[in-house]
């Protein structure tokens, strides 16, 4: 950094020879591996104000306070209190009720169950920032749009309900009485990602952890440490330091395989590396989910991680895990448990343990990035993962801002999870209607994914067409995908079950095929003839017939039935049966297994023996 540039900067802080750009100019790069950083949790009870008319944001003439009159006492983010009894103040966070963070607001308060709009959240905190250190506020996820303020200053706006984001607050934080305020708006919008129409509940709120993260003046912001594509003995990647103002060194250590690699970083703060690890690596797999202790050390900090090393690739119709063909015995799941947004480690363990009990070696985390706990637990428990961004159904494919939003969500999830061995597939879409604009949109997302991560496979849940009774999987974007995945609902949304096993499917692609969704509803505990919809016998028969059909599909290398557990959906209203739930779960929202669960479990047990893994 040339010091002569310093005088052009309006506000800058010089700390012991380091020049810190003002927080707003500092790269707001996403911090990853937060569980191994120096953090202070802000989880707990936050005051909230329901603001359907956004009174705390707009003046009565629709002027945005933080643009036109930032210090207005009427702007909720100023957390204003009467200075004398004559003053007019029409809100008070401290006298307002509280919501638990993390958690959706819909299932915490009956009068918020269907609420779609703005709710303000406020949390006060004290903080003693060590001299020369820097402070960030980090959000695991906020659905859908968050406008974040600290001590009345706007930190930024984040769009996207399922990815992490953070802001530097070094120059704004005080020792006492900081007030962190969020305007959270979960309204569904045609040009958002997802758009306005989804088959899942629009859970609003601060739905994942919030924490403060303290870093040294120069800190390890990001790194990728994975097996290099096409090798199984070379560990490669990059390291990014933030705040660097002179050449620095970093050391990557993986003691168990005698790796100790020093890396030179220039003032740009980035460095790529390759490490020959010889033949000492014990590869990660569902049967043996080996994780190594990895550390990155600089002159200012030592950060630990747990990373598994494995190769994933395709060869013709085969998926090869560590060079051996693998069949993905999967299940789809929403980030939902017992009728509420899942969050935290316990929920992750419960959902993934149920998947293991079903006999899975793979899970499709639909239709959006789940919490980091899910990926960390999948690493530990041995489950391969399909991660997806919510480019779902009718996205506004001609809208550039919509594309950039989708691209940003992809960047945020890949930045967070690119060191997780369990993640083998990035998915860019689900059941999107065909058009040239959609093909361009998805092509660009696929290209973008490859710029961020060359080591994983790329797919999307496609739709198929039918010609003279033959199912055809020839979606044009299949050309750019590594795996051809498609959803089909024979026997539920059409097609006859009795003849399903004789159905024919074809695809022009010599690539692995995954049936990414099939299934049907059953109300748990409802029994009757298999010909009658909604009972468990019908669902069991539907699974039996579909599996006999699916196993004949050419290049089939994976299945993920829809879905592990019943989940809330505003689209499912049949009284006494759905009652606002999609009932395709193999397990009810009250943790009761249905007959089809056991049929699928037996099927996977047989399949595991066939692939002897």
Binding positions for ligand GCU, rule: CB under 6 A:
199, 367, 430-431, 487, 517, 562, 582, 584
Smallest gap from Cβ 507 to ligand GCU, in A, equals 19
Least separation, in Å, of the C-beta of 368 and ligand GCU? 11
Q: Please give the residue whose beta carbon sits closest to ligand GCU in the complex.
A: 199
Preceding amide of 447 cis, omega within 30: no
Q: Which is nearer to ligand GCU, 170 or 459 (CB)?
A: 459
d(CA 195, CA 482): 26
What does the radius of gyration of the chain's CA atoms come to, in whole angstroms?
Answer: 25
Please state, in angstroms and rounded to a whole number, the distance separating the CA atoms of residues 122 and 369.
26
Minimum separation from the CB atom of position 526 to ligand GCU (A) = 18
Could you say which DSSP state residue 545 is in? Answer: H
- How do beta strands 210-215 and 38-41 pair? antiparallel
C-beta of 37 vs 367, nearer to ligand GCU: 367
Distance CA 466, CA 321 (A): 32
CB of 431 to ligand GCU, least distance (A): 5
Helix count and strand count (H, E) for the chain: 7, 40
Decide whether 146 or 332 has the Cβ nearer to ligand GCU: 332
| Residue 150: strand pairing partners | 153, 180
Laid out side by side, the sheet with 332-333 consists of 328-329, 556-559, 513-517, 484-487, 457-462, 423-430, 384-388, 362-365, 332-333
Q: Which is nearer to ligand GCU, 138 or 392 (CB)?
A: 392
CB of 582 to ligand GCU, least distance (A): 5
> CA torsion angle for 573, 576, 581, 584 (degrees, to 10)?
-110
* Minimum CB–partner distance for residue 447 and ligand GCU (Å): 24
Q: Rounded to whole angstroms, how far apart are CA atoms 69 and 78?
A: 11
Q: Which is nearer to ligand GCU, 51 or 517 (CB)?
A: 517
Backbone φ and ψ of 542, nearest 5°: -60, -40
User: Is the Cβ of residue 47 or residue 427 nearer to ligand GCU in the bound state?
Assistant: 427
Nearer to ligand GCU, 215 or 431 (CB): 431
Residue whose CB is less far from ligand GCU, 248 or 475: 475
Q: What is the closest distance, in whole angstroms, from the C-beta atom of residue 96 to ligand GCU in the complex?
A: 35
Classify residue 612 as exposed, middle or buried by CB count within 10 Å of its CB (0-12, 13-18, 19+).
Answer: exposed
Q: What is the DSSP letter of 347?
A: H
**In the complex, least distance from residue 118 CB atom to ligand GCU, rounded to whole angstroms:** 26
């Amino acid at each position: 950094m040339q010091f002569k540039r310093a005088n052009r900067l309006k506000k800058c802080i010089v700390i012991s020879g380091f020049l810190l750009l003002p927080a707003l100019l500092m790269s707001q790069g996403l911090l990853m591996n937060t569980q191994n950083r120096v953090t202070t949790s802000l989880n707990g009870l936050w005051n909230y104000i329901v603001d359907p008319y956004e009174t705390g944001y707009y003046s009565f003439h629709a002027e945005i306070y933080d643009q036109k009159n930032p210090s207005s006492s009427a702007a909720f983010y100023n957390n204003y209190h009467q200075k004398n009894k004559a003053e007019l103040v029409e809100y008070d966070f401290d006298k307002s009720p509280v919501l638990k963070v993390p958690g959706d607001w819909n299932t915490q308060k009956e009068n918020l169950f269907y609420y779609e709009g703005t709710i303000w959240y406020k949390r006060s905190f004290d903080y003693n920032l060590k001299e020369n250190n820097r402070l960030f506020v980090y959000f695991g996820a906020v659905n859908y749009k968050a406008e974040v303020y600290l001590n009345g200053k706007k930190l930024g706006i984040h769009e996207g309900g399922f990815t992490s984001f953070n802001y530097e607050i070094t120059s704004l934080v005080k020792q006492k009485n900081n007030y962190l305020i969020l305007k959270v708006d979960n309204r569904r919008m045609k040009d958002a990602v997802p758009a306005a129409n989804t088959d899942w509940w629009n859970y609003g709120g601060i739905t994942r952890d919030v924490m403060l993260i303290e870093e040294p003046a120069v800190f390890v912001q990001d790194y990728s440490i994975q097996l290099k594509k096409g090798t199984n003995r070379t560990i490669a990647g990059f390291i990014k330091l933030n705040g660097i103002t002179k050449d620095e060194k970093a050391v990557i250590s993986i003691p168990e395989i005698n790796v100790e690699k020093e890396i030179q970083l220039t003032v740009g703060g980035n460095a790529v590396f390759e490490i020959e690890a010889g033949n000492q690596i014990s590869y990660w797999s569902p049967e043996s989910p080996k994780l190594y202790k990895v550390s990155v050390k600089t002159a200012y900090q030592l950060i630990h991680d747990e990373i598994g090393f494995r190769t994933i690739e395709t060869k013709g119709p085969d998926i090869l895990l560590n060079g051996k063909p693998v069949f993905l015995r999967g299940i789809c799941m929403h980030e939902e448990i017992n009728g509420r947004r899942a969050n935290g480690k316990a929920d992750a363990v419960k959902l993934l343990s149920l998947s293991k009990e079903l006999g899975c070696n793979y899970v499709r985390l639909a239709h959006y990035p789940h919490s980091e706990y899910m990926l960390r637990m999948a690493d530990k428990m041995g489950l391969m993962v399909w991660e997806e961004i919510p480019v779902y159904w009718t996205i506004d494919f001609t809208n550039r801002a919509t594309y950039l939003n989708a691209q940003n969500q992809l960047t945020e999830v890949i930045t967070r999870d690119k060191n997780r061995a369990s993640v083998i597939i990035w998915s860019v879409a689900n059941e999107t209607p065909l058009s040239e604009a959609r093909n361009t949109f998805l092509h660009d997302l696929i290209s973008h994914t490859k710029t961020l991560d060359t080591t994983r496979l790329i797919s999307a849940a496609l739709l198929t067409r039918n010609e003279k009774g033959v199912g055809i999987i020839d979606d044009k974007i299949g050309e750019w995908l590594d795996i051809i995945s498609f959803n089909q609902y024979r026997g539920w949304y059409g097609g006859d079950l009795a003849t399903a096993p004789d159905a024919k499917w074809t695809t022009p692609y010599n690539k692995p095929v995954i049936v990414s969704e099939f299934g049907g509803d059953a109300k748990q505990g409802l029994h009757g003839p298999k010909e009658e919809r909604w009972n468990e016998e019908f669902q069991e028969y539907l699974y039996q017939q579909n599996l006999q059909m699916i196993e004949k599909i050419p290049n089939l290398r994976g299945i993920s039935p829809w879905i592990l557990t019943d989940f809330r959906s505003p689209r499912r209203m049949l009284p006494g049966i759905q009652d606002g739930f999609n009932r395709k779960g193999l397990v009810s929202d009250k943790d009761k297994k249905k007959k089809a669960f056991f049929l699928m479990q037996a099927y996977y047990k047989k399949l595991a023996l066939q692939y002897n893994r």
